[in-house]
Structure 1
Amino acid sequence: MSFLSKLRYITVDVTGTLLAYKGELGDYYCMAAKSVGLPCPDYKRMHEGFKLAYTEMAKKYPCFGHAAKMPNIVWWKTCVQDSFNRAGYKYDEETFEKIFKRIYASFGSSAPYVLFPDSVPFLRWVRAQGIPVGLVSNSEYRYQDVILPALGINQDSEWDFGVFSGIEGVEKPNPRIFEIALEKAGNIAPEEALHIGDSMRQDYIPAKSLGMHALLLDRFKTPDAENWRKSGAPVFPDLTAVQEILESGNVDLLKKY
């Protein structure tokens, strides 16, 4: 019996695995500022300000404010305003409101994202084998409801169920998010599922800790990939390579890359 025939579900990470951010954060903040007649904020300061603001918000109100019952738009508005403040830009309430609406709308659309060309073919191939697909992502509800459909990744066409941190209230690397995926898959045994992601800490380790099969993608040739391999993780350059190995039926080839 081949490895593929033993699988009852495959779960897949989203950002870095199926899609990536397009351009720089500063591009979208610049466009928003220009829309109200203001000059572009400094890209570097804006990037650093956002990193600090996002980290603080994620710590105080994890899973996009799920436990605090904070509306998604309020979470992001607080984060974006703090980002500007940390970068040294303070706007009056009316001006900031206009800038924020532009930023929130941009990141709630397909504009800032690019889909890897092998993503849709791979997901459709998996489902054609009779294996359902679950998406497991540290993201808010707009990924499920707006962004993925806008990019052509649709439920019941490319995927069967989703576990999104902003909806479930738990995020990777907490293994609980993978337990939820197994439950949604029909309470299947961990060894009957394979998880594909791009982070050793957030994808591979927690999935393996439950007994799931797991592998990693190294789409951007990160220096960390060599350490992933040394630790025993199967690492692939893209989903096309993953499909080729799964089609071969030789589970030992999972360590080829």
Structure 2
Amino acid sequence: MKPSVIFLDAVGTLFGVRGTVGEIYSHFAAQSGVQVDPKLLNQAFVESFFAAPKFAFPGVAPPDLPAQELLWWKAVAARAFQQVGAFSDFTDFDAFFQILFDHFATPEPWFVYPEVPQVLQKWQLQGIQLGVISNFDSRLHPVLTALELSDYFETVTSSTAVGSAKPDAQVFAAALAKHPVTANGVWHIGDSWQDDYQGAEQAGLRGVWLNRAGKSPPGPTHTEIADLSRLALTSEQ
């Protein structure tokens, strides 16, 4: 059956990073006089990111969230630069990272996957409500606007605003509460098998794993697609 609501993840699903995070970080580091190998830095970033606590701050008041988000990302970046032995080369890491952090709130480091606008428009014309569920922060709103994606979505739910991160069922419940529907007949699409597919299934939604890279699934998967256009016909049935 055609879903009443389709939720989508953000990074890796709607849009991705131009190049790698390591390349962007090393470029800005060079402007501060610090030379770092982008490949080594990217690997260090990935390890630091996945070693960090979940990106959610339960109990933090909304006005205080941006400061907490900045601190979380700064800690991830600092560990990455420490791992490659470059952290001590900065004369003012805080000032460097503020510039870097602000950069990711602009459209420059991002690109929209080619099929996304057309598919979103098609679903929208079919009367399907669209929403975003993302382990992102308050920068998600300006990024969606800058990438000309915000008009497709009725709701945007981020982990920091909810105080719970995917795959926790609480973030899916918070997104569902914004729509007059139950979990039955609602889909969630994302590129993370654990956070998006498995998290959605456990929360009672239909999970759809977006496997752009053609990876082997780490577990049983009922619905897997290579890009969003592969689901366009399914949504019409």
Shorter-chain TM range is 0.7 to 0.9
Name segments (4+ residues, structure 1) moved above 6 Å: none
C-alpha distance in 2, partners of 1:216/1:102?
A: 34
Q: How does 1:46-61 map to 2 (within 5 A)?
A: 46-56=41-51, 58-59=52-53
1:108 partner SS: coil
Pair 1:176-2:173 in alignment: no
Instruction: Quote how far apart the aligned CAs of 1:26 are.
Output: 2.3
Contact in 1 for aligned 2:34/2:90 (Cα 8 Å): no
User: Partner residue of 1:209?
Assistant: 202
Q: Which has the higher helix share?
A: 1
User: Partner residue of 1:14?
Assistant: 10
Pair 1:117-2:128 in alignment: no
1:195–1:64 CA distance, 2 compared to 1 (3 A): closer
User: TM-score, normalised to structure 2's length?
Assistant: 0.87
C-alpha distance in 1, partners of 2:164/2:10?
A: 16
Provide, for residues 175-197 of structure 1, a one-character-per-residue CA deviation record: whole Å limited to 9, x for no partner. 221111111112x2211312222
Instruction: Quote how far apart the aligned CAs of 1:93 are.
Output: 6.8
Residue from 80, 83, 86 that aligns with 2:80: 83
Task: State, as a whole percentage, how many aligned pairs show the same letter.
Answer: 25
Contact in 2 for aligned 1:29/1:40 (Cα 8 Å): no
Contact in 1 for aligned 2:211/2:227 (Cα 8 Å): yes
Pair 1:63-2:59 in alignment: no
User: Partner residue of 2:148?
Assistant: 152
Q: Which moved more, 1:193-202 or 1:158-167?
A: 193-202
Give aligned pairs, total.
232
Provide, for residues 85-107 of structure 1, a one-character-per-residue CA deviation record: whole Å limited to 9, x for no partner. 22211347753234213311222
2:152 partner SS: coil
Query: Amino acid of the residue matched to residue 148 of structure 2?
Result: G
1:191 partner SS: coil
Query: Amino acid of the residue matched to residue 116 of structure 1?
Result: Y
Contact in 2 for aligned 1:196/1:214 (Cα 8 Å): yes
Gaps in structure 2 of 5+ consecutive residues: none
Computed over aligned residues only, the root mean square deviation of the Cα atoms, in angstroms, reads 2.2
Provide, for residues 14-61 of structure 1, a one-character-per-residue CA deviation record: whole Å limited to 9, x for no partner. 12211122212222122212223x2421224322432343344x32xx
Structure of higher CA gyration radius: 1
Provide, for residues 99-125 of structure 1, a one-character-per-residue CA deviation record: whole Å limited to 9, x for no partner. 213311222222222111111222222
1:64–1:177 CA distance, 2 compared to 1 (3 A): closer
Pair 1:196-2:189 in alignment: yes
1:10 partner SS: strand
C-alpha distance in 2, partners of 1:241/1:49?
A: 34
1:22–1:191 CA distance, 2 compared to 1 (3 A): same
